Structure 1
Amino acid sequence: MKYRSDIDGLRALAVIPVLLYHVGVPGFGGGFVGVDIFFVISGYLICGMTDADIRNGTFSLGNFYKRRILRILPALFVMLLVTGVLAYIYFLPVELEDFAKSLASAVGSVANVYFAKTAGYFEAPAETKPLLHAWSLGVEEQFYLVVPVVMLVAYRFAPKRARLLLAIGAVMSFAAAIAMSTRNETFVFYLTPFRAWELALGALLAIGFIPAPPRGMWSNVCGLAGLTLLLGVILAGSSSAPLLLMTSLAGVGATMVIASSERGISPAGRLLSLRPLVFVGLMSYSLYLWHWPLIVFQRTDAVLKTGSSASTKLLLIVLSVGMAYLSWKLIELPFRSMARNTSRTKVFTAASGAMASAFVICGLVLLAGGAPFRFPERVLQISAYLAYDSSAAFRTGRCFLLTNHQQLDTETCMTRDPARPNYLLIGDSHAAHLWLGLASAMPGVNVMQASASLCRPAVQGGSHYDSPACRRMMDFVFNDFLANNRIDKILLAASWKDEDLPILATTLDLLKARGLRVTVLGPIVEYDSALPRLLVDEILRDDPAAARAMRRPGVHERDSAMSHLAADHGASYVSLYDAICPDGRCDEYVAANVPMQFDEGHLTSQGSIELGRRLAPFLAPKLVGARDAN
């Protein structure tokens, strides 16, 4: 397959938006689709070369994997080595253990599987995972392992139907992605069976199943339309848009751009062949490898402690490009030049040795428990809450639903007690984290619970957070349970946002019309990073204001607005913000070395019990007064 400079330019169009999107430059809301462009390019090049070699009788699986190893692993392993050193210096034991697992998965070409399995509602955010971007390498590497073998077998036993079989595989992959998108979009994002259709688009073009447009007007229109489609998705797209819509538009656009120059360079191809774009495209792999770890370590203040946000972003971009150039020049090019003169045995032996060494190091880190000897005891006690298991306190899977497949256990969570007042706590995880504290602080009250992740307590739908499990539960609670059971007080709690207030107002009006007593529990103080990590940073950096500086703005103002809204719609209101932040100073610890919250906003069990003690006089004053008198 002859060299095409426009494809290197298309690589630049893929990696630049990814970089700018991750750095946080405004105007690139759909920049993440650059990965989808890479998928189409990879499918086109790899399957095109494989198809040509099979037809010429020169294809060798050994040579194919040797070239892939020399192309991918050297730059990857250098990035992993540098990232591993930074992680050892900076990461806390819990974080280092997670990093070791992700490193082993990246070395083993299954990073996408690892991140798909570990993605969860209470998982650490993406900004703390320096190897998260390796998921896309896992997709491509798994594609490389399977498709050449499939093509070889297909051409040998069904040569006339080989292309059709590949097309059927692409259709099956896309259909599977559609089916899975309603059940688990995380799997659709990470896993190869639901991404293979994107690589197959490029492959089908390369082998001629998708016809290239004839030269002239049609190729010109095809290229410009594809380029316009890509720029539209990158600039006007959003991570909140349906995933398959974004990936489909990007995949089709990239295929159209490549197809437009199949029979001769098109205007779009000439534009992409400009030297600056080609230069960036040549080092796009290294730029993709280095940009994300640099961003993660900057956001965790391990490197690049700069002042303004704009200067930080600019410095990240410059440093990413600089590291990419060095990686391309000093690692990629020399190793790629070895492809002809180095035996497969040497390449496979060296790669196996490097992989085995990485696995051993990761194993040692896990056996050592994340190397806790690097930090003082107090830091270790606080940082242990980064691995906090909330399932028992939240009653996950029974009274707090994390997935659409879980069912509310009404016998455990919503059984009335005729001997005590019955309160029903409804909402999302910010309702679930209150249950333990309220139940402990008000033993004279039967506190029932109906909660689900990202589930606003609303009679009617409308929140963009709504999931099937949420709506199913809310319909049951408001239209069935409350219609047939006498409840003394309804408690509504959630991770309230400004856009939730109209929905809340409607809910309060409907519940008031039914004669139900409602108390709204306001928003809780939240942070931009996990509170235990911030508290540790205060100790390690001798910066007592680290947590305070990372409080999310607007919570106090929202709390005030919700107080007025509740009063206007006939409901009681209890301020969680005032309970945790008396006089504007927020309590970060429950007791010595015990954080109030275990992540950005959710209460530890000790924090829930303490907050419940503070809230009880407002929720059940007579019962609490009587208990205190005794």
Structure 2
Amino acid sequence: MHFRSDINGLRAVAVALVVLFHFGVAPVAGGFIGVDVFFVISGYLMTGIIVSRQLSGSFSFATFYLERCRRIVPALAVLCVAVLVAGWFLLMPSEYMDLGQQVIAALTFVSNVLFWKTGGYFQESAHDLWLLHTWSLSNEWQFYLLYPILLTVLARFVGQKILRWLIIVAVLLSFTINVVGTLYSPSGAFYLLPARAWEMLVGALVYLFPLRLKDHQQRLMAWAGLALILAAALLVSEETLWPGYLALIPVLGSGLFIAAGHQRCALTDNRVAQYLGRTSYSVYLWHWPIVVWLGYFSLENQPLWLVIGILASVAAGHLSYRFIERGITRSDGLLQRTQPATRLGMLFGIALAAMLTVVANGVPARLSADFRRASAELSMPIVTNGWCFYSVETIATLPVGSRGQLCRIGAQDGQLKALLIGDSFAGHYAPFWDAIGKRLSIDVQSVASDWCFPAEGQAFTGPTSSRAYAQCLLNRAYLKAGAHRYDLIIFAGSWGVIRHQRKMNGVYRAIRRTSGRAPLLIVMPTPTNFDVNVADRYARTLLFDIPFDIHKYGKQRDVSARLANTELAGVVNRLGNAIFLARDDLFHISGRPSDVTHENIPFGLDESGHLSIYGSYKAADAFSETARYRSLAQRLDAVRTQRTGMGLGQR
């Protein structure tokens, strides 16, 4: 296809909106719609390339895919190398391991699937994902793989004239998936191709149904299209369900602008816009890691640094365009002169390096021994580090079965016998109950596995096809059969998630049933859920010797957890032999509620509210200072006396 300056200028508008949005420049609250504009442009250009070559008899799948690869992969590969090198010096082991997974997903064009499983695009934790923006490239590449096959098959069996009407049907089908998916699975609708294909296919329709317009009609349509795009950028926000039906606004605007074919639009036909349009792909690639870098050092809200970040994005984009993009297309370019086998070897080398970071668990040895010692207890207590959480889902060598019910903590010769049971939140309380058990002479048996919250029935927060589900059924059967053998039963779970999935009724039934079979039942609270991994944020401050302030981090994820804790407390406190331990009993400094310890180290570990080994121990120290702890000790003394009186004290 011949070069069109209007489309090149539209690229500039799209990338400018995305960059301004990601750097938080007001009032572009909906600048993320720039990606929707890119999708329409891609659909138009790809349809033009494929259909024009098919009509001339010169279309080749191999040539088409090779051209797309040469257009996208080199600059992406260089970016992946750069972030892997930067991550070596900047990232915690868990973060570096995650980065390795992101690099592999980006280079294989499945990062949209990875980030769909990871979480929402607009969550605060997304600012820790260095290659989050590659989700759109994965969508486009998946489209490139399937689309020429679809067009070729349809052209052969129904002809070009009917083909374009079938494209309309495909647009309507994908748009329906988008609207329904946005309501019921927002993350899937945002990231995955079936809900995004319609945007690229709208671009296809613009090519397949060309318009012949007079000059004044072109101007009017072009400006109408730009007005729709800019209106969307200014009026929608992160709070808007997206894409949904509102995505029609920028998509329709992009389609109108391209269909107009207006080459002399003042906003797009100028030197700045044309330059930014040419470098838009590289600018897009580099701007997001710079945004993440600013956030990494808590510079994202400082105006000077935002200006520096935007300028750095443009500069990095220029260098990438000059030496990488043009280097692969110009006959005298450096990359063009390298052999195809060499280029392929480089790509495999990058992927191998990324795989090694995953296999090596983020290469913790690259960090100093002092740092590793200081941060050693900022991790989840699990069987691999000497604790009890029996994660059959993440540790393939663990067998499903009774082995997951054998771990003991606390006072091994304790006068009282306790059972700690639940999901990973029971697992993270193991250090807590180890310390309390030793203080109060309690032998605690821990039965904790993935997603297995204490409940009656078969409700489960994870996939029921997993090994973890089989382990959970065994754990619940163990509780049901043996609750009467314990002096104390302790329930712990991710109550916020369970409440969100509307599965608390089984928990309430288990509480009532168990409280009638054991002398005492304790229900542990779900700790504070942050929007970011607070332990990693704290570890960064250790690594770079900068102050740590936990108040900077949001708690939007904590809403459901707080409500669940309150509702549980209401149920538990109505029972005579049950105690709900509130957050304030565990997480405080001298009675003042706190998310950090005396040493200004967070109790929490990650976004889900898990405690670190350190945080769990410190919660036990804080709890031992409270009146609730003294009351618990008295109640346990009563249980101990009752057992002795019944002749059961030496069970």
Q: CA deviation at 1:203?
A: 1.2
Equivalent runs, 1:571-582 vs 2, <5 Å: 576=583, 579-582=586-589
Query: Structure 1-normalised TM-score?
Result: 0.72
Q: Pick from 331, 354, 368 the counterpart of residue 346 of structure 2.
A: 354
Match of 2:635 among 608, 626, 629: 626
- 2:80/2:103 contact within 8 Å kept: yes
Deviation at 1:549, TM superposition (A): 7.0
SS at match of 1:39: helix
Please give the alpha-carbon distance, in whole angstroms, between the structure 2 residues aligned to 1:254 and 1:22.
21
Contact kept in structure 2, 1:30 and 1:234, CA below 8 Å: yes
Mark the CA change 1:474 to 1:337 in structure 2 (over 3 Å): closer, same or farther: same
1:555-586 deviations in Å (ceiling 9; x for gaps): 9xxx9xx99xx9xxx99998735853325695
CA contact (8 A) 1:94 1:383 kept: no
- The equivalent residue for 1:399 is 453
| Greater mean alpha carbon deviation, residues 406-415 or residues 579-588 | 406-415
Greater relative contact order, per chain length (Cα 8 Å cut-off, separation 6+): 1
On the 8 A contact 1:529/1:550 being kept in 2, the answer is no
**Per the alignment, do residues 2 and 306 of structure 1 end up closer, same or farther by CA in structure 2, a change over 3 Å counting?**
same
Equivalent position of 1:192 in the other structure? 193
**Alpha-carbon deviations, 1:234-291, whole Å to 9, x = none?**
11211221113343332222112212x23x558xx44322332222111110110001
The structural deviation recorded for 1:201 is: 0.9
Partner of 2:287: 291
How far is 1:339 from its partner? 11
1:267-286 correspondence to structure 2 within 5 Å = 269-286=265-282
Report whether the alignment pairs 1:322 with 2:315: yes
Could you say what the CA RMSD is over the residues aligned between the two structures, in angstroms? 4.7
**What pairs up with 1:187-586 in 2 under 5 angstroms?**
187-208=188-209, 212=211, 214-215=213-214, 219-245=218-244, 246-259=246-259, 261-262=260-261, 264-265=262-263, 269-301=265-297, 309-338=302-331, 348-377=340-369, 379-380=371-372, 382=375, 385=378, 392-394=423-425, 397-399=451-453, 402=461, 453=496, 469-470=501-502, 473=503, 524=528, 529-543=532-546, 545-547=547-549, 550=552, 576=583, 579-582=586-589
Q: Structure 1's 251 and 414: CA in aligned 2 closer, same or farther, altered over 3 A?
A: farther
CA distance in 2, matches of 1:233, 1:293: 25
Q: Distance in 2 between matches of 1:481 and 1:388?
A: 25
Q: Distance in 1 between matches of 2:478 and 2:227?
A: 53
Task: Give distance in 1, aligned partners of 2:152 and 2:50.
Answer: 9
Deviation at 1:55, TM superposition (A): 0.9
Residue 182 of structure 1 and its aligned partner are, at CA, apart by 4.3
| CA pair 370-307 structure 1, distance change in 2 beyond 3 A | closer
Asked if the contact 1:178–1:244 (Cα under 8 Å) also holds between the matched residues in 2, the reply is yes
- Partner Cα distance (1:349, 1:63) in 2: 17
- For residues 285 and 546 of structure 1, the distance between their equivalents in structure 2, rounded to whole angstroms, comes to 36
SS state at 1:3 partner: coil
Q: Number of paired residues?
A: 543
1:489 Cα deviation from its structure 2 partner: 11
Does the CA-based 8 Å contact 2:531-2:555 persist in structure 1? no
Q: Following TM superposition, by how much is the alpha carbon of 1:347 offset from its aligned partner in structure 2, in angstroms?
A: 7.0
Q: Is the 8 A contact 1:590 1:596 kept in 2?
A: no
Structure 2 distance, partners of 1:337, 1:628, is: 83
State the alpha-carbon separation in 1 of the partners of residues 522 and 585 from structure 2.
21
1:308 deviates by: 6.7
Q: Kindly report which structure 2 residues correspond to 1:110-129, keeping only aligned pairs within 5 A, or say none.
A: 110-119=110-119, 125-129=125-129
Cα distance, 1:611–1:307 mapped onto 2, change above 3 Å? closer
- Which amino acid letter does the alignment assign opposite residue 287 of structure 1? V
Bigger drift between 595-604 and 229-238 goes to: 595-604
Structure 2: distance between partners of 1:611 and 1:101:
33
Q: Which of 583, 591, 611 is 2:619 aligned to?
A: 611
CA distance in 2, matches of 1:341, 1:484: 73
Where 2:25 maps in the other structure, the secondary structure is coil
Q: Which amino acid aligns with 1:360?
A: L
Sort the Cα spacing of 1:78 and 1:87 in 2 relative to 1 into closer, same or farther, 3 A. same
Q: Which amino acid aligns with 1:603?
A: L
Return 5+ residue gaps in structure 1 as ranges: 421-442, 457-466, 495-522
User: Are the aligned partners of 2:283 and 2:317 in contact in 1 as well (CA < 8 Å)?
Assistant: yes
Amino acid at match of 1:247: A
Q: Residues 413 and 159 from structure 1, CA distance in 2 versus in 1: closer, same or farther, beyond 3 angstroms?
A: farther
Residue by residue over 1:457-501, the C-alpha shift from the partner in whole angstroms, topping out at 9 and shown as x without a partner, is xxxxxxxxxx6x34xx478989x999999999999977xxxxxxx
In structure 2, relative to structure 1, the CA distance for the partners of 1:291 and 1:610 (3 Å cut) is: same
Post-superposition CA distance 1:320-347 (Å, at most 9, x none): 111111212222223223499999x977
Structure 2: where are the runs of 5+ without partners?
Answer: 383-388, 392-422, 426-448, 455-459, 641-651
State whether residues 105 and 111 of structure 1, in contact with CA within 8 Å, keep that contact through their aligned partners in structure 2: yes
Aligned in 2, Cα 1:227/1:159: closer, same or farther, shift over 3 Å? same
Q: Cα distance 1:94–1:2, how it changes in 2: closer, same or farther (>3 A)?
A: same
CA 275–112 in structure 1, closer or farther in 2 if over 3 Å, else same: same
Is the 8 Å Cα contact of residues 528 and 550 (structure 1) preserved in structure 2? no
Structure 1 residue 589: deviation in Å? 6.2
Q: Find the residue that maps to 1:139 and give its secondary structure.
A: helix
Structure 2 match to 1:58:
58
Q: Retained in 2: the 8 A contact 1:383–1:532?
A: no
Query: Are residues 1:35 and 2:35 paired?
Result: yes
Aligned: 1:9 with 2:40: no
Alpha-carbon shift at residue 618 of structure 1 (Å):
5.6
Which whole-Å CA distance do the structure 1 matches of 2:554 and 2:165 have between them?
54
Percent identity at matched positions?
28
Measure, in 2, the Cα distance between the counterparts of 1:360 and 1:375: 21
Whether contact under 8 Å (1:53, 1:59) holds in the other structure is yes
* Residue 172 of structure 1: how far off its partner (Å): 2.8
8 Å CA contact retained: 1:402, 1:453: no
CA contact (8 A) 2:586 2:620 kept: no
Question: In structure 2, do the counterparts of structure 1 residues 113 and 347 end up closer, same or farther at CA, with 3 Å as the change threshold?
Answer: farther
- Aligned counterpart, 1:171: 172
Amino acid at match of 1:326: L
Q: TM-score, normalised by structure 2?
A: 0.70
| Larger deviation, residues 25-34 vs 371-380 | 371-380
From the superposition, tell whether residues 158 and 337 of structure 1 become closer, same or farther in structure 2 (CA, over 3 Å): farther
Deviations, residues 428-472 of structure 1 (Å, cap 9, x unaligned): xxxxxxxxxxxxxxx86766678654677xxxxxxxxxx6x34xx
Separation (CA, whole Å) in 1 of partners of 2:190 and 2:332: 33
